[in-house]
Amino acid sequence: MTSPSDSVDSPAVTLYTTTWCPFCSSLVENLDRSGTAYARIDVEEDADAAAWVESVNNGNRVVPTVMYADGSYATNPPAGQVRRRVAELTGEAE
């Protein structure tokens, strides 16, 4: 699967979400407030994305799952953790 993080101009983090997930909405709102750039993929609209999420979550479609530009990932991470990891990857201060 080609993900948005494969592109040179892509943000340092891609969020795999659904429209109805309250944890996804909370993460997005927190990242928006802090000005953290991200790409967002709805796993209900993208079968390849859903398959990837399931592959890293023991066969479960758990959202939000995030993938960082270095290929690492986290499941349902707090927004602060995402911001810190993005800052590490981009060399920017949080």
Per the domain annotation, does 4 fall within a domain? no
- The 10s digit of each residue's pLDDT in 68-85 is 999 999 999 999 999 999
- The 10s digit of each residue's pLDDT in 9-52 is 679 999 999 999 999 999 999 999 999 999 999 999 999 999 99
Confidence of residue 5 (pLDDT cuts 50, 70, 90): very low
Q: Which domain holds residue 85?
A: 10-89
**SS3 (DSSP) at 25:** helix
Per the domain annotation, does 34 fall within a domain? yes
At 49, which CATH number? 3.40.30.10
DSSP string, 35-89: T---EEEETTT-HHHHHHHHHHTTT---SSEEEETTS-EEES--HHHHHHHHHHH
Whole-structure pTM value? 0.87
Question: How many Å from the N-terminal Cα to the C-terminal Cα in the chain?
Answer: 30
Greater model confidence, 16 or 8: 16
